Structure 1
Amino acid sequence: MSRVVQFYETGGPEVLRIDDIDVPAPGAGELTLRVKAIGLNRAESMFRTGQYLEDPVFPARLGYEAAGVVSALGTGVTGFAVGDEVSVVPPSSITRWGTYGEVVNVPADFAVKHPASLSWIEAAATWMQYVTAWGALADYAKLGAADSVIITAASSSVGLAAIQIAKMLGATVIATTRTHAKRDALLRCGADVVIATQEEDLPSRVSEITDGRGARVAFDPIAGPMLLQLAQALSYDGILIEYGALSPDPTPLPLFAALSKRLTIYGYIYKRVVLDAERFAHAKRFILDGLASGKLKPIIDKTFSFDDIVAAHRHLESNQQFGKIVVTV
């Protein structure tokens, strides 16, 4: 038996329950993980409320990321042994695998032996944020030293990962946040400039920072009216990478900016990386090298115990965090 988090209807954090269930032996290509820590993601909140790309099948499991110790191997699994310490890259389907549990089965192809220098908490906080940011900035946008990039929602875990990766690639980072309350912390995390979008005009400030050229890339999970401002802040032939829909407001198409500047507006999800074997291998090498060198280091906002999963989800939805929320098991 294992304690796992399940929910039986969509709704707020209060729908989450901890149930005792029998965990089957790992299937072909799977391994069983005794979980030490779980990384939380906005996608899980959206899945829980029925606003995600996949629909829950009740009783629904939850969770994309975890770190722990391998306790069993399914048939066909090579490269791992019982006792290995691994972390989980978010697999392709949240409905099939769920990591919110004391013991879970996960696809072996998405398990990684992470650097021993990482704590369990850091290991559980690694893969969603860095794979998402790498796929957008390094692989798709080919960000380089001559580029400026706008990173919105910069204090989120993916935003902070994007700052670190953009700096590894040599780009100038323009981080945005709603007020100046997080400005100093973002600068310490590597941002070159911080723009408070409720207090400053984003297109004007970006124009000043870039000597009138605009930024070549914007990386945004918000959408809504923000899309118009980002389009105005981009350079000719700029790329607007949209990887979320956090705004509750409609998202207008910035048609005239797109036409006049020849902009690319690209809808992006991390599955672009993990569903392509070659791209996935490149991502893992880049991220593991960055973790080993210390250039990539997960920033942890707060940890919760497994029994406090409802409180952890409430904090996830508070928009107050700076970095990753992790649940310890």
Structure 2
Amino acid sequence: MTRVVRFHRHGGPDVLRIEEVEMPHPGPGEVQIRVKALGLNRAEALMRQGRYIQTPRLPSGLGLEAAGTVERLGAGVAGFAPGDAVSVVPPVSMERWPAYGELATFPMELVVHHPDALSFEQAAATWMAYVTAYGALIDIAGLGRGDVVVVTAASSSVGLAALQIARRVGATAVAVTRTSTKRMALLAAGAPHVVAAAEEDLAERLKAIAGPDGVRVVFDAVGGPLFGPLAASMARGGILIEYGGLSPEPTPFPLLDVLAKSLTFRGYLMHEIVGDPARLAAAKAFILDGLAAGAFRPTVARTFRFDAIVEAHRFLESNEQFGKIVVTL
């Protein structure tokens, strides 16, 4: 029997239960992992609440990111052996491949030998953030030297990964955060510019930073009223990539700016990368290269023990974290 986290009804963190279940052996092409650390993501809170893009059958498991050691191999798996230290690129379905448990099973193409320099906690904080940011900034937007990119929700794990990726390719990043509370931490994390959207004129600040050419790329997790000032600061032919929707307010469409500047507004999920073998291989190579060079370093905000999963989810919903929340086993 294996301890896993499940929920039998949608709701707040208190619906999470640690239960003992019979864990089946991995199927063909699957790798079973003895989990050492889990990375928490907002998608998991949304699925627990019944607000995610996937509606699971109940009771359901949960979780997208894990790091640990290989326990068992399914038929046809090559390149891994029991005891190997690995981490996991988030799967398309956390209902099918949930991570919250002492054992977790994933498709072999999503399992990665992580660099020795990473702890299990850091490895569990890596793949969601860096694949998400890579897919938007590099794969879709083609971010490069001389570009200006705006990163909203910059203190999130994805936002911090985006700042590191921008620096890696020679782009200038502008970290946008709600208030100035996290300004010093963002500057210390390497953000060249920080703008507090609730305290400053966002459009004017972005125009002053970007100069006459404007902002070519916006990487946004918020939506809502920010769309107006973001569009106003963008360069002709610029692209806004939306991957979140954190704002509870309506999102107005900045029609005049979109028309006048030939802007592209695009929705994005990391599933685009994970579901395409060639794009996934390119993402892995880019991220592993950055990790090996020391250019990428995941930020762990706080760690919790597995038995404190409810408390960890409460902290996830507090929006107080800077970086990734990690649960250890």
TM-score (normalizing by structure 2):
0.99
How far off its partner does 1:190 sit?
A: 1.4
Tell me the distance in 2 between the aligned counterparts of 1:11 and 1:249.
Answer: 21
For residue 101 of structure 1, what is the aligned residue in structure 2? Answer: 101
Q: How far does the alpha carbon of each residue in 1:106-140 deviate from its partner, in whole angstroms, 9 at most, with x for none?
A: 11110000001100100010000000000000111
SS in 2 for 1:317: helix
How far off its partner does 1:183 sit?
A: 1.1
Q: Does 1:37 align with 2:42?
A: no
For residue 250 of structure 2, what is the aligned residue in structure 1? Answer: 250
For residue 165 of structure 1, what is the aligned residue in structure 2? Answer: 165
The amino acid across from 1:49 in the alignment is Q
How far off its partner does 1:27 sit?
A: 0.8
For residue 21 of structure 1, what is the aligned residue in structure 2? Answer: 21
How far off its partner does 1:154 sit?
A: 0.3
Tell me the distance in 2 between the aligned counterparts of 1:97 and 1:21.
Answer: 15
For residue 71 of structure 1, what is the aligned residue in structure 2? Answer: 71
Matches within 5 A, 1:193-212: 193-212=193-212
Aligned partners of 1:240 and 1:265 also within 8 Å: yes
Tell me the distance in 2 between the aligned counterparts of 1:69 and 1:224.
Answer: 42
For residue 119 of structure 1, what is the aligned residue in structure 2? Answer: 119
How far off its partner does 1:105 sit?
A: 1.4
Tell me the distance in 1 between the aligned counterparts of 2:5 and 2:202.
Answer: 41
For residue 130 of structure 2, what is the aligned residue in structure 1? Answer: 130
Identity, in percent, stands at: 57
The answer for unaligned runs of 5 or more in structure 2 is none
For residue 11 of structure 1, what is the aligned residue in structure 2? Answer: 11
How far off its partner does 1:180 sit?
A: 1.4
Aligned partners of 1:221 and 1:246 also within 8 Å: yes
How far off its partner does 1:212 sit?
A: 3.0
How far off its partner does 1:258 sit?
A: 0.7
Q: Does 1:180 align with 2:188?
A: no
For residue 262 of structure 1, what is the aligned residue in structure 2? Answer: 262
The amino acid across from 1:244 in the alignment is G
The amino acid across from 1:85 in the alignment is A
Q: How far does the alpha carbon of each residue in 1:126-177 deviate from its partner, in whole angstroms, 9 at most, with x for none?
A: 0000000000001110011121000001000000000000110100011011
Tell me the distance in 2 between the aligned counterparts of 1:258 and 1:52.
Answer: 29
The amino acid across from 1:235 in the alignment is A
Q: Does 1:56 align with 2:51?
A: no
The answer for unaligned runs of 5 or more in structure 1 is none
How far off its partner does 1:213 sit?
A: 2.7
Tell me the distance in 1 between the aligned counterparts of 2:60 and 2:290.
Answer: 35
Tell me the distance in 2 between the aligned counterparts of 1:232 and 1:9.
Answer: 43
Tell me the distance in 2 between the aligned counterparts of 1:134 and 1:51.
Answer: 25
Larger mean CA deviation between 208-217 and 194-203 belongs to: 208-217
Tell me the distance in 2 between the aligned counterparts of 1:198 and 1:223.
Answer: 14
SS in 2 for 1:67: strand
Aligned partners of 1:43 and 1:52 also within 8 Å: yes
The amino acid across from 1:179 in the alignment is T
What's the RMSD between the two structures over aligned residues? Answer: 0.8
Tell me the distance in 1 between the aligned counterparts of 2:191 and 2:117.
Answer: 25
Tell me the distance in 2 between the aligned counterparts of 1:321 and 1:212.
Answer: 35
Tell me the distance in 2 between the aligned counterparts of 1:202 and 1:94.
Answer: 36
Tell me the distance in 2 between the aligned counterparts of 1:12 and 1:261.
Answer: 43
For residue 155 of structure 2, what is the aligned residue in structure 1? Answer: 155
Q: How far does the alpha carbon of each residue in 1:248-271 deviate from its partner, in whole angstroms, 9 at most, with x for none?
A: 112121111111111000100101
Tell me the distance in 2 between the aligned counterparts of 1:190 and 1:139.
Answer: 23
Aligned partners of 1:39 and 1:327 also within 8 Å: yes
How far off its partner does 1:93 sit?
A: 1.1
Q: Does 1:298 align with 2:298?
A: yes
How far off its partner does 1:38 sit?
A: 0.2
For residue 232 of structure 2, what is the aligned residue in structure 1? Answer: 232
The amino acid across from 2:290 in the alignment is G
Q: How far does the alpha carbon of each residue in 1:22-69 deviate from its partner, in whole angstroms, 9 at most, with x for none?
A: 000111111111100000001111111111110021111100000011
Aligned partners of 1:152 and 1:176 also within 8 Å: yes
Tell me the distance in 1 between the aligned counterparts of 2:164 and 2:291.
Answer: 11
